[in-house]
Amino acid sequence: MKCKICKAEAIVALRSHNAAFCPQCYKEFFSRQVARGIESQKLFTRDERVLVALSGGKDSLALMLELSLQGYNVTGLHIDLAIPVSSAAARGVVERFCAKHDLKLMVKEMAAEGLPIPAVKDRLNRPVCSACGKIKRHFFNKVALDEGFDALATGHNLDDEVARLFSNTLRWDTAYLSDQGPGLDSEHGFSRKVKPLWRLSEFETANYAFLMGIENHYAPCPYSPGASFTVLKGLMQNLEAAMPGRKLDFYQGFLARGRPVFARREAEEGVQLAPCTLCGYPTSSGESCGVCRIRAALLNEG
């Protein structure tokens, strides 16, 4: 198998792009896809400051490295959830990665915020994952706004996005369908949110991370029953195997022709948001936001 670009020995074949690449040309392919993803959706510019949420997983680390190599002004943000074993391992991976590549990093500790995830878990009668996700998003947004960043970037890839889109479509969740996508403008006290890896699959990102020597964080969260959207991702993999390129087509078609329709509808209905009375974060509940309610519940208990 020969590299499509330079005819050297190829190490990876991509059916969706009908191409095989050698290591160097693969890295260039990856960079082009990230650049196209940013430019076509006008996610951010080189004059803006981007806060990149780093979990310790390969996607967000690959994203951070690639953005810095492309000359973007990036700072990492790691949320230390205070989960025994796994949080220390994840934080260690992120800290070593940023030190190795000389990248700026901020760490926000949930224990110091009165929100260690094990305590949140003990308090809830349901799986902690959705509360944990809510807490993480709350602090992504808070740090981005407090520190004056122009955008908050996450490592979500094409498989994450397509699985989420499929899930939202199966439920015809028009509110979620109206603002799902690689870029969400800042509004109502929310920072701009961007997903620059939206054109790249999990496999393509993993391959880049491997070629760039990115250390992987293997410790899975002890509380999550498995990766999210496992069933839907499996269905999409089967579709992609039978019809290479369909995943990206489906997603791009949604952005071009689906999302605008849902967005118009949602704008007509208009959900009212007001600042949380305790922290100022936008909430639809009228008083304090979900995170402040969790924090208050833990305080009352303690």
User: What is the binding site for Zn ion (CB under 5 A)?
Assistant: 276, 278-279, 281, 289, 292
**Does 221 appear as a known binding residue?**
no
Closer to ligand FES by CB, 176 or 223: give it: 223
Least Å distance, CB 126 to ligand FES, is 12
Q: Does 154 bind ligand AMP (CB under 6 A)?
A: yes
Least Å distance, CB 89 to ligand FES, is 12
Tokens encoding 104: 């700026």
**Does 6 appear as a known binding residue?**
yes
User: What is the binding site for ligand FES (CB under 6 A)?
Assistant: 81, 117, 128-129, 132, 221, 223-224
Closer to ligand AMP by CB, 5 or 107: give it: 107
Q: Name the closest residue to ligand AMP (Cβ).
A: 155
* Contacted by 54, from ligand FES, ligand AMP, Zn ion, none: CB < 5 to 8 Å by type: ligand AMP
Stretch that binds ligand AMP, among 75-83, 144-152, 212-220, 244-252 (CB under 6 A): 75-83
Q: Does 183 bind ligand AMP (CB under 6 A)?
A: no
Per the CB < 8 A criterion, the answer to whether 93 and 56 are in contact is yes
- Bridge partners of 80? 109
In three-state form (DSSP H/G/I as H, E/B as E, the rest C), the secondary structure along the chain is CECCCCCCECCEEEHHHCEEECHHHHHHHHHHHHHHHHHHCCCCCCCCEEEEECCCCHHHHHHHHHHHHCCCEEEEEEEECCCCCHHHHHHHHHHHHHHHCCCEEEEEECCCCCCCHHHHHHHCCCCCHHHHHHHHHHHHHHHHHHCCCCEEECCCCHHHHHHHHHHHHHCCCHHHHHHCCCEECCECCECCEECCCCCCCHHHHHHHHHHCCCCCCCCCCCCCCCCCCHHHHHHHHHHHHHCCCHHHHHHHHHHHHHHHHHHHHHHHHCCCCEECCCCCCEECCCCCCHHHHHHHHHHHHC
- Which of 225, 231, 271 has the alpha carbon at shortest distance from 130? 225
Q: Does 59 bind ligand AMP (CB under 6 A)?
A: yes
Stretch that binds ligand AMP, among 8-16, 38-46, 52-60, 290-298 (CB under 6 A): 52-60
* Contacted by 289, from ligand AMP, ligand FES, Zn ion, none: CB < 5 to 8 Å by type: Zn ion
Which of 12, 43, 62, 81 touches ligand AMP (CB under 6 A)? 81
**Does 132 appear as a known binding residue?**
no
Which of 14, 20, 79, 151 touches ligand AMP (CB under 6 A)? 79
Q: Does 201 bind ligand AMP (CB under 6 A)?
A: no
**Does 3 appear as a known binding residue?**
yes
| Cα 190 from Cα 136, distance rounded (Å) | 14
**Does 54 appear as a known binding residue?**
yes
Question: How buried is 187 (Cβ within 10 angstroms: 0-12 exposed, 13-18 middle, 19+ buried)?
Answer: exposed
Closer to ligand AMP by CB, 156 or 247: give it: 156
> Which segments are annotated as binding site for Zn(2+)?
3, 6, 22, 25, 276, 279, 289, 292
Judged by the rule CB under 6 A, the positions of this chain that interact with ligand AMP are 53-55, 57, 59-60, 77-79, 81, 136, 154-156
Binding residues for ATP: 53-55, 59, 79, 155, 160
